[in-house]
């Protein structure tokens, strides 16, 4: 029986190595990473159950240990501790995005490969076959052939489709497999297998070259990545804020919002936010603090020792030395790859596989077998007691994991209903997802927006006397629902600036419907700014609320900070100029309008609007009249702050429980400092449409 379980274990390792880097499934919102994580976690769970069965069947526990075991274990423990103690939302830390589960599963994969000597070749073969498939799909996609294959699902016919998850990840994954393919060609004795490995190497090499060309600077699919210096600053500030455990597993976005430097706004993709670093080691330091850094240092020492040539090679056969060298080269390349890849399944799986292939193991056996036959029952009970926690832990994980995966599947169906304009279906499906897993702030945030849009649709195109009493009741209920769901999102992750910004914008949008919502909007958006201090867009939203209630002085103060955060952002300057104009400070309004003009393209509609504004303000200055500026044509990209026009009379009275939650306490370093007023050189970008 033990031999049969070993064989099953070997084939599960093979299938895991083959399928985990490749799986995609459009039944999840993130159809690249979620299927890979679900499959890897399920496979590891099965391997744990098989190991428990082996312990009971053989009445002993055999463990292969190596110099890599301690640092790998420390990395897994650092993510577990950070997720349990530090992460504000445990569900997201362990399941989706599930960074802690990914790292722990990849670490356990290393241990299982290390325990099964016969399975190491199977794992190597599985990865090369995976690389072969990924290469074929990538070459077909780059050539554009997939777009002509009508039988493929829509997501697979997109330009530059990749099973791994993009050109950069495909390049990294395939590049790390080259030494492994050469290793298999050298040591495999069967000619047919050598031919296949050689063919695979050729395809992998061709795909590496093609993907490298696609990601070169200036190319259409060149990745937009924050500089290492910015990721480093985020990591260091996260450690300063929480030295031992960092920002928390699965909580990189919060750290990114709070700690990214002002220089990030000089990048041409300054509006983009990242939920992972593009460097695994910096990502680990950010999320797990000094504990993770310590694990990385210990791992680095172990890898350096493994890569250092042995002094006693005289007795080593030439073939064995070549084989060992290629595995070492592969380990070195896989380490280098992690400097350009965040916590993604494919590169992590290859890295931990190389660790196992390079490990020099020593077997330790713990025997539970009784010496005398009459004690056999006792030995069975002892082995069962050792296995029982493993079995129970896996079953509990699978139970809760299946519910969470089911909720994610339902949520994706709700998003599909939104894209098909099936509002009621979307509302019901996302509500069902929340019932299955109420701990995901994304679900609540989405339902909040759907509820508000539904309320808004009941007033669109209708005069006051056309809105019935039933409509008013329904609008009131939908607004209450939107606020309730927005507050739920904040409560689930109160450190996430995006949740506060969503709640604040909800309050802002219902200012025409509900009394008191203006002050609630100010509270929520102020907290969003405190948690994301260099976000110019959040400051513009906050300034827009002050503008809407006629507090032009406060609006000007906030808009000034928005300009300081992003000096070349035309929309920030435009909002500041409009606020000056409304306050009657025409000289300052004129100066800011002219500043705005310098950041707009010649001949654009936005430029025409600003030029007209300048004429109006100059006319006001000359005539010293108090009337308002002429009506503006609708801007495509520049939108001034506006005062709300109530669609309901009387307005809806929000209950006390509609108030936003109390802001989270933030360390002094995370408060919203006034950015330097010194302009930072940055590329000129055209102002986007204000929400």
Average predicted confidence (pLDDT) for the chain: 87
Confidence of residue 612 (pLDDT cuts 50, 70, 90): very high
More confident of the two residues 358 and 374: 358
Give the 3-state secondary structure of residue 272.
coil
pLDDT value of position 248: 95
Confidence of residue 680 (pLDDT cuts 50, 70, 90): very low
Share of the chain above pLDDT 70, in %: 86
Confidence of residue 311 (pLDDT cuts 50, 70, 90): low
pLDDT above 70 (res 614): yes
For residue range 565-590, what is the model confidence (pLDDT) as tens digits?
999 999 999 999 999 999 989 999 99
Helices (H) and strands (E) in the chain, counts: 24, 4
CA distance 648 to 520: 19
Over residues 204-219, the mean pLDDT reads 95
CA distance 440 to 93: 11
pLDDT value of position 645: 56
Among 395, 293, 303, 274, residue whose Cα is nearest residue 79: 293
Among 477, 492, 480, residue whose Cα is nearest residue 443: 492
CA distance 48 to 648: 61
CA distance 527 to 254: 13
CA distance 501 to 524: 7
pLDDT above 50 (res 374): yes
For residue range 516-573, what is the model confidence (pLDDT) as tens digits?
889 999 999 999 999 999 999 999 999 999 999 999 999 999 999 999 999 999 999 9
For residue range 500-518, what is the model confidence (pLDDT) as tens digits?
999 999 999 888 767 788 9
pLDDT above 50 (res 626): no
pLDDT value of position 661: 76
Q: Are strands 60-65 and 362-367 parallel, antiparallel or unpaired?
A: antiparallel
pLDDT value of position 16: 97
pLDDT above 80 (res 663): no
pLDDT value of position 673: 36
SS (H, E, C) 152-171: CCHHHHCCCCCCCCCHHHHH
CA distance 238 to 251: 11
Q: What's the full length of the chain, in residues?
A: 691
Greatest alpha-carbon pair distance for the chain in Å reads 111
Confidence of residue 1 (pLDDT cuts 50, 70, 90): low
Cα–Cα distances in Å, from 383 out to 45, 60, 373, 475?
A: 19, 7, 16, 63
- Percent helix, strand, coil in the chain, to 5, is 65, 5, 30
For residue range 408-438, what is the model confidence (pLDDT) as tens digits?
999 999 999 999 999 899 999 999 999 999 9
Confidence of residue 467 (pLDDT cuts 50, 70, 90): confident
Check if the beta carbon of residue 383 is closer than 8 Å to that of residue 82: no
Over residues 462-475, the mean pLDDT reads 79
pLDDT value of position 630: 40
DSSP E strand stretches across 361-468: 362-367
Over residues 351-373, the mean pLDDT reads 83
pLDDT value of position 650: 58
Helix locations, 20-98, DSSP H:
33-58, 69-81, 90-94
pLDDT above 70 (res 58): yes
For residue range 108-133, what is the model confidence (pLDDT) as tens digits?
999 999 998 888 999 999 999 999 99
Lowest mean pLDDT among 26-40, 220-234, 658-672: 658-672
Lowest mean pLDDT among 440-449, 609-618, 633-642: 633-642
Cα first-last separation, the chain = 64
Q: What does the block give as tokens for 672? A: 């919203």
The model's pTM is 0.86
Burial of 547 (0-12, 13-18, 19+ CB in 10 A): buried
Confidence of residue 658 (pLDDT cuts 50, 70, 90): low
CA distance 542 to 319: 68
Confidence of residue 318 (pLDDT cuts 50, 70, 90): very low
Share of the chain above pLDDT 90, in %: 67
For residue range 270-298, what is the model confidence (pLDDT) as tens digits?
999 998 998 999 999 999 999 999 999 99
Q: What does the block give as tokens for 80? A: 């577990």
Check if the beta carbon of residue 25 is closer than 8 Å to that of residue 35: yes
């Amino acid at each position: 029986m033990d031999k049969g379980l070993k064989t099953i274990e070997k084939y599960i390792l093979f299938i895991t190595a083959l399928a985990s880097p490749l799986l995609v499934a459009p039944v999840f919102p993130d159809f690249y990473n979620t299927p890979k994580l679900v499959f890897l976690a399920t496979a590891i769970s099965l391997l744990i159950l098989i190991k428990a069965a082996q312990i009971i069947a053989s009445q002993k526990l055999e463990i292969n240990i190596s110099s890599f075991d301690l640092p790998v274990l420390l990395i897994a423990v650092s993510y577990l501790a950070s997720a349990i103690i530090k992460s504000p939302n445990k569900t997201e830390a362990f399941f989706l995005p599930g960074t802690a589960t990914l790292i722990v599963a990849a670490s356990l994969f290393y241990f299982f490969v290390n325990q099964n000597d016969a399975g190491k070749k199977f794992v190597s073969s599985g990865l090369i076959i995976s690389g072969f498939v990924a290469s074929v799909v990538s070459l077909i996609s780059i050539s554009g052939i997939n777009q002509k294959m009508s039988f493929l699902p829509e997501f697979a016919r997109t330009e530059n489709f990749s099973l791994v998850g993009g050109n950069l990840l495909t390049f990294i994954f395939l590049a790390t497999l080259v030494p492994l393919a050469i290793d298999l060609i050298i040591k495999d004795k069967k000619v047919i297998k050598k031919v296949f490995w050689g063919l695979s190497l050729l395809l992998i090499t061709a795909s590496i070259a093609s993907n490298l060309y696609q990601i070169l600077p200036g190319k259409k699919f060149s990745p937009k990545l924050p500089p290492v210096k910015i990721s480093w600053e985020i990591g260091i500030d996260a450690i300063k804020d929480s030295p031992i455990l960092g920002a928390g597993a699965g909580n990189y976005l919060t750290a990114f919002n709070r700690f990214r430097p002002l220089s990030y706004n000089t990048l041409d993709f300054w509006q983009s936010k990242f939920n992972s670093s593009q460097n695994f080691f910096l990502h680990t330091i950010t999320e797990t603090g000094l504990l993770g850094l310590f694990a990385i240092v210990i791992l680095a020492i172990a890898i350096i020792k493994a890569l250092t040539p042995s002094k006693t090679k005289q007795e080593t056969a030439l073939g064995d030395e070549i084989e060992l060298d290629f595995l070492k080269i592969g380990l070195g390349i896989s380490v280098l790859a992690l400097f350009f890849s965040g916590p993604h399944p494919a590169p992590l799986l290859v890295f931990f596989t190389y660790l196992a292939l390079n490990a020099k193991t020593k077997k330790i056996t713990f025997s539970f077998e009784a010496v005398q036959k009459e004690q056999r029952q006792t030995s069975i009970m002892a082995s069962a007691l050792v296995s029982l926690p493993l079995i129970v832990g896996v079953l509990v994980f699978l139970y809760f994991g299946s519910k969470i995966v089911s909720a994610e599947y339902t949520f994706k169906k709700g998003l599909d209903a939104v894209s098909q304009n099936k509002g009621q279906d979307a509302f019901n499906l996302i509500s069902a997802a929340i019932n299955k897993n109420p701990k995901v702030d994304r679900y609540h945030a989405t339902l909040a927006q759907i509820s508000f849009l539904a309320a808004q649709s009941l007033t669109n195109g209708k005069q006051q006397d056309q809105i019935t009493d039933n409509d008013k009741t329904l609008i009131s209920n939908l607004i209450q629902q939107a606020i309730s769901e927005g507050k739920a999102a904040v409560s689930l992750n109160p450190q996430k600036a995006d949740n506060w910004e969503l709640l604040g914008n909800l309050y802002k949008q219902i200012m025409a419907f509900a009394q008191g919502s203006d002050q609630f909007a100010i509270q929520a958006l102020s907290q969003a700014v405190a948690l994301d201090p260099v976000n110019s867009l959040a400051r513009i939203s906050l300034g827009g609320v002050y503008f809407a209630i006629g507090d032009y002085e406060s609006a000007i103060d906030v808009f000034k900070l928005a300009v300081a955060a992003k000096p070349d952002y035309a929309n920030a300057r435009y909002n500041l100029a409009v606020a000056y104009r409304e306050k009657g400070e025409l000289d300052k309004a004129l100066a800011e309008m002219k500043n705005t003009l310098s950041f707009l393209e010649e001949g654009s509609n936005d430029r025409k609007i600003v030029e007209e504004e300048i004429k109006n303000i100059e006319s006001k200055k000359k005539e010293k009249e108090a009337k308002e500026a002429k009506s503006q044509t609708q801007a495509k990209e520049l939108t001034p702050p506006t005062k709300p026009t109530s669609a309901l009379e009387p307005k809806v009275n929000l209950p006390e429980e509609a108030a936003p939650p109390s802001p989270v306490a933030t360390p002094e370093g995370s408060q919203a400092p006034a950015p330097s007023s010194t302009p930072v050189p940055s590329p000129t970008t055209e102002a986007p449409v204000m929400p």
